[in-house]
Structure 1
Amino acid sequence: MNQMTISFKTKTGMTNIRHNNRDLSEEEFKSNEHRHINRALSHENITIIKRDIREVYHDEFDDALNTYNSKQRRKDRKIEDYYKHVKKSKTLDLQREFVVSVGNKSDWEKMDFNKKREVGEALASYVRDFNERHDHLVIYNAVVHLDEDGAPHAHFNVVPIADGYKNGLSKQPSFSKALLQEGFKEKGRGQLKQFRDHEIDRIQYFMKNVNIERKLGQTNDIKDMREYKETMRQIELQKQQEEKELQHLKNEVANMSEELDKAKLEDETINAMLRLKMISETEVDKSQFEIKERGLFNNRERVVIVPEDEFDRIAMKANYSPLSNLLNDFKESILQIGFIKKLHSTILSLKNVIKEMKAEFQKEKAQLEKENRNAWSNYFKAKEEADTYKRFKSEFERYLSEEEKNEISDKIYERQEAEIEGGLWQDFDLDR
């Protein structure tokens, strides 16, 4: 029988359903985040449950919501969309994702794909079993991934459901209370550990059916937690600086846009004046003129009858002199400076700078994200080893000499320090 580790992890709030379901665009598949996916094997993935989370919210909470709203006398206290209401809440749990994996990359480098497929089917059976056992943890999306290097693993997302509330809706999404109503009565992290231990026992049952026996994982130390924290701090500072520079560039582009609008208006003014000049300089066509005499005796006079459009042209020509001076002044102050040409050149240069900065930012971001993932991985491995030391101490303490006890206590203290250092983050890894 093969021996492999069993990992059971969860994170609060965070999930990526589109990644889990491989519902990605071509551009997204090519990104660093998804390059580890072997798309030629994606058809081997096992989709277990695929529902819209909003549908689950309607099914589970609509009755309680309608009852609650019917008791509200003030319109502003009624809740129209409970999913959106929970999404904005800081106390309720919108959903929770679990990731279960069997073995590690080195284990599966020795195995053929048929074995991986067999374990994937066993994981799918476990997820279906989970859904049948837990009335207060309703799965809305579940899939087993077999298209990545390394261990086969299942992602499944649940909506936690607890009832019996006296304030607000009688039924609300709360993970801790849902576990309590499932029978896990420990408090704090003890409740989560109790739940995890129970689930790992169930996973072992399904793995034994495919000749895999659980073994404890081996981990590595984080050499310097302070170094990790400093790296995270530098990442945040870098992010803030780049956001500040990007905002500065956006402001410059906005200012340039205003200048372009102004230049466009001035350009249109120049064109109108140039058309006026052209009309005024056009020779008058006298062939269409008609001369007639009018009046009696000594008051007779000769008059010229001119077509209306020609009359307008003559009038414009007569009044052009002051406009001509204005046009010359305008050309001198605007056109000869080359303002518009200079403005276009500046904007083009600015666009190139933004493009280069964006490319550099994406490159640095990818590197920092990689360092971040490695640091998190090391942190959780160190925490796992600390838990192992605690367990060994409890099991074997009565058989050890005083000197051996002191030596183990020193090691446990070192791991506790690492755990306290890492306690600043809300997300946690339940791998053991």
Structure 2
Amino acid sequence: MTAACQLAAGLAAAPQPADPVSLGHLLVLAMLWLVTAWRLPAAVRNPRQRTLWTAFAALAVSITLGLPAITDWVDTASGVHNVVMVIKHLIGLVACDGVLAFVTATTRPESAPRLRRLQLAVLFAAQAGLVVSFCLLRHTVEVADFFQDYPGSVPVAVYELTFAGYLGSAMGFASWLFGTSARRAAAGWLRTGLRVLGAGTTAGFCYAALRVCQVVLQLDDRPMFLRASLLYDIEWTAIALILLGSSIPAVGSAWTALRAWRTARRLRPLWAALTTAVPEVVLTAPLGRSPRVLLHRRVIEIRDASLVLAGYADEELRERVARQAGTDRPELAEALLLRACGAQKLAGRFPGHQAAPQPTESFAELDFEAETRRLLSLAAAHRSASAIPVIDPELQDVP
């Protein structure tokens, strides 16, 4: 999503033939404003998120200024032909800079302060170049395509080269960051997303390079070696790749959250039974909204309750449980033992003199996925064990 802002800020602001505003463009613009409003609280709280919010906000403003009605109103109100174009491009450069700052701080935090100074210097130089070259051109009429309607103009060429040069530099730098980050990222959704993002920013770099070639060739009165439609195909391919790449990690995160929520839901009956017998193991810190945190809490509390209840199991009880469950059903044996020990604790009995067995590894060292799979098997066995009478006859009426 961050890279989508970066390329779209430049490519959406780049000179293009005038087209009527489509429903798709309006939907994208509405989504941008919604994302800008949604990220505002995080931007207020977190300085790192502030640059990303700036990118979204600048991109939303830039595209809004490109709407025909807004463009006509700004140009008419200012009394300067085509002034909305340079305003839009200046804001587009701010959006690019915001995303560059965010990506740099995220992927290269140790180099971020030094690179930030360089990024700001390049940004201000590019903006100054746009303003100066725009002012050197006499704007006698309103034009639909700034570049094509002033062929051979040196100020327009400088303007185009400045804009395309900054966009290409940003795309090239982002491609390098995404490429190196993808190599270090763990396999899965994130790595795939970074690779697609890198492909998209590489396509954006190629687009900017071709725009530079187009300007140079036109100054020499030579035709472009690619047709204009192919150039815009490269542009939109870059946008599509970056939008796809930015959505892949988000889809992966949503899928991981859904899996965590479903797993926590499947563990809930086992968790409820054990924490009813051992309520003191339930953590009191707020859970928040993360399904992953909920799942971690369930696993921790099930493990802690199991350790407490293990102190109620003497050798005789363990032997009876093993005989009833059978040697080939260890999950059922553990489930029966937990039910029997839980019943003893609820009946007010005291644990035996033997120490409860301690785990051989800390929770931080635990293979969380393997432990979760084990507890899911235990939860299934615990449900089936509910049809088996409690082993101790004195505890039959204990829930």
- What TM-score do you get using the length of structure 2 for normalisation? 0.24
Determine which structure has more spread, i.e. the larger CA radius of gyration: 1
**Which gives a bigger RCO, structure 1 or 2 (Cα 8 Å, sep 6+)?**
1
Structure that is richer in helix per residue: 2
Structure that is richer in strand per residue: 1
